[in-house]
Amino acid sequence: MDALHLNRRLVMSQEVKTRALLLQSYPFRERSRVLRLHTEHEGTLSVIALGQTAHIPPVGALLQVRLRLRPHRDLQRVAELDWDYLYRTLFHDPTRHPYLILAVEWLSRCLVAPDPSLFSWVRAQLIALDTSEKPREVVQRLFRDLLPRWGGPTLPPQATLSEIEAAYRLTFPEWRPLQSFSLLEKLTLPTYGA
């Protein structure tokens, strides 16, 4: 009987360590946050960080997380959270930050299932966005190159962000206009040579 009870506990909860992209963050009660993460090995999850409000990085952060996963639960638990990569410019430069906001909003609509190779590629693109002198080009390349992975058309390299988003709308009928995209288009930001 004890072995059966132990097996049931093992199946009920498991601990996983994985890299993750922080897609959204919401307050929960006084000192906790609900986070929406896209993880390398578990896909997109909603998790709760109990009592860790002061330690939650900004949206768009690349993280290492240790999760306590329980099957059939909509909300999982964060056991530990740390930086995977700390951006040099994206959080602090007001001319670059809107590109990160756009990238995260776009990715939050696209990334669902676990795909370690896709996660690694997206992570590399976000790091390139942080270090590139042409962030608009990096964002354009990111979303232009992602579209064929989901059955969309292959777009030419010179496709603008507006043309790329229009192609997503044609590919995915439920696609809603990106709020951060319209904000980015209204702002007169330096294009870093673009």
Q: What is the pLDDT of residues 59-78, one digit of tens each?
A: 999 999 999 999 888 899 99
Q: Pick the range with the lowest mean pLDDT from 44-58, 72-86, 91-105, 148-162.
A: 44-58
Residue 165 in tokens: 């988003």
Q: What is the pTM of this model?
A: 0.85
**For 123-182, how does the pLDDT look when each residue is reduced to its tens digit (9 = 90+)?**
999 999 999 999 989 999 999 999 998 889 999 999 999 899 999 999 998 998 888 876
Of all residues in the chain, what percent carry a pLDDT higher than 70? 86
On average, the pLDDT of the chain sits at 87
Mean pLDDT of 43-62: 87
**For 28-41, how does the pLDDT look when each residue is reduced to its tens digit (9 = 90+)?**
888 889 999 999 99
Of the candidate CATH numbers 3.30.365.10, 2.40.50.140, 2.60.120.10, 3.40.50.11030, the domain formed by 2-85 belongs to 2.40.50.140
| Whole-number pLDDT of residue 94 | 87
SS (H, E, C) 113-140: CCCHHHHHHHHHHHHHHHHCCCHHHHHH
Residue 82 in tokens: 């740390």
| Whole-number pLDDT of residue 150 | 84
DSSP of the chain, one letter per residue? Answer: -HHHHHHHHHHH-EEEEEEEEEEEEEEETTTEEEEEEEETTTEEEEEEETT-GGGPPPTT-EEEEEEEE-TT-SEEEEEEEEEEE--SSTTT-TTTHHHHHHHHHHHHHH--S--HHHHHHHHHHHHHHHH-S-HHHHHHHHHHHHGGGGT-PPPPTT--HHHHHHHHHHH-TTPPPPHHHHHHHHS----TT-
CATH 2.40.50.140 domain extents, the chain:
2-85
Contact 61, 146 (CB under 8 A): no
* Rounded Cα gap, residues 168 and 172, in angstroms: 6
